Amino acid sequence: MSDAVLLEVRDLKVAFDTPEAHVDAVRGVTFSLRKGEIISVVGESGSGKSVTMRALMGLLPQSTLISGSAKLLGTELVGIAPKELQRLRGSRMAMIFQDPLTALNPVLTVGDQVMEAIRIHNSAMSDTDIRRRAMDLLAEVAIPFPEKRMEQYPHEFSGGMRQRVVIAIAIANKPDLIIADEPTTALDVTVQAQILELLEQLCHRNNTGLVLITHDLGVVAGMAEAVSVMYAGSVVEQASVDDLFDNPAHPYTRGLLGSLPEINGEIGRLTDIGGAPPTPQTIPNGCAFHPRCSFAIEKCRALSPLLTKVGNSAVACHLANGLPAYRSPRKAA
């Protein structure tokens, strides 16, 4: 892993104007990623994880209001011209989507779709070289008989094989940045492990930075180097994997970790976080988590906490220094 900063996001905000209301979906997200580093973004559905990453990729509607800064190797992505963003997307940064079946075109062969990703950014390559490169990519992501598979359609592939094709398209031009949006959601456990191992190998081999969006804290514990925890459109805690699991500083992070089942532990009901996360239209005043937090005090209801340094972590909580000791669930993860 290099010390060079690959991606630097500062105070990123994303909002949508709807007929009903102005919706703040992402509220000041800040994080950074180095070359060859793997970081994870976790949080409940609706916390703003995918919207944040789609904003970086320029995959949100044109009417979306985006502010703040997001620099890829020094190039500002917020407000960049569409043609310039299209040049970067696929060559310098790529995204692996959650559902490979809908990410692939059902009426084009797998080979055509992989070759298209190469051809768009390598206009000087001959058709023969493009085809050879596409077969090499399929072999690289462990798809057997790539020459035969090139002529098949997505519906002829299993879920795991389709996800491998999506990864092949993402790495076709050796991008500096890959964003993986829950890439193993619809896959069985064995295939999940294969896909994650493949991504890790590709990142280390090509010195590629990876942002992994996931709900699976076991994946986070085994793969990521640093974690950003999101709640209601904001980052509430950022830490290394070791610090996050050994000493979570935010009550929401503790709730997520407390929901993990224990290995060889006492059989009983899983711990849950009471209540439900707010929608972007119903975010309360003060700390957005306070209605669900058992530690909340009056200050939490009145003032929104800033992301501040607490030990080795950054935490948005008024009580981060005063929470009781926590038993690490690392073995469960």
User: pLDDT digits over 75-118, tens only?
Assistant: 999 999 999 999 999 899 999 988 888 889 999 999 999 999 99
Domain stop point among 224, 240, 259? 224
User: pLDDT digits over 286-301, tens only?
Assistant: 999 999 998 999 999 9
Say yes or no: 242 and 266 in one domain: yes
User: pLDDT digits over 227-269, tens only?
Assistant: 999 999 999 999 999 999 988 999 999 999 888 776 665 556 6
Say yes or no: 207 and 246 in one domain: no
pLDDT beyond 90 at 216: no
**Residue-number span of the structural domain to which 301 is assigned:** 229-315
Averaged over 119-141, what is the pLDDT?
94
pLDDT beyond 50 at 331: no
Say yes or no: 101 and 245 in one domain: no
Which CATH number do you get for residue 98? Answer: 3.40.50.300
Say yes or no: 215 and 309 in one domain: no
Say yes or no: 17 and 157 in one domain: yes
> Would you say residue 275 lies in a domain?
yes
> Would you say residue 37 lies in a domain?
yes
Which residues lie closer than 8 Å to 1 by C-beta, 6 or more apart? 34, 35, 36, 37, 207, 225
Which has the closest alpha carbon to 1: 40, 37, 38, 39?
37
Say yes or no: 242 and 98 in one domain: no
> Would you say residue 122 lies in a domain?
yes
Where does the pLDDT of residue 179 fall: very low under 50, low under 70, confident under 90, or very high at 90 and above?
very high
Say yes or no: 156 and 245 in one domain: no
Q: How many domains does the chain have?
A: 2
Where does the pLDDT of residue 51 fall: very low under 50, low under 70, confident under 90, or very high at 90 and above?
very high
Say yes or no: 303 and 197 in one domain: no
Say yes or no: 168 and 132 in one domain: yes
> Would you say residue 320 lies in a domain?
no
> What's the pLDDT at 186?
67
Averaged over 296-316, what is the pLDDT?
92
> What's the pLDDT at 222?
87
Residue 103 in tokens? 């990410």
> What's the pLDDT at 333?
45
Most confident of 215-224, 229-238, 310-319: 229-238
Task: Give every strand in the sheet of 75-76, ordered side by side.
Answer: 22-34, 5-17, 65-72, 75-76
Which has the closest alpha carbon to 313: 232, 224, 241?
241
**Distance from C-alpha of 136 to C-alpha of 158, rounded to nearest angstrom:** 20
Say yes or no: 91 and 130 in one domain: yes
Say yes or no: 92 and 136 in one domain: yes
**Distance from C-alpha of 15 to C-alpha of 91, rounded to nearest angstrom:** 27
Say yes or no: 199 and 285 in one domain: no
> Would you say residue 329 lies in a domain?
no
**Summary mean pLDDT of the chain:** 90
Residue 22 in tokens? 């102005």
Averaged over 51-79, what is the pLDDT?
95
> Would you say residue 333 lies in a domain?
no
Sign of CA dihedral 32, 33, 39, 40: positive
> What's the pLDDT at 1?
62
Q: How many CB atoms lie within 10 A of CB 74?
A: 8
> Would you say residue 322 lies in a domain?
no
Q: How many CB atoms lie within 10 A of CB 279?
A: 11
Query: pTM of the predicted model, to two decimals?
Result: 0.90
Averaged over 219-225, what is the pLDDT?
90
267 class by beta-carbon count within 10 Å (0-12 exposed, 13-18 middle, 19+ buried) = exposed
> What's the pLDDT at 20?
82
> Would you say residue 53 lies in a domain?
yes
3-class secondary-structure state, position 90: coil
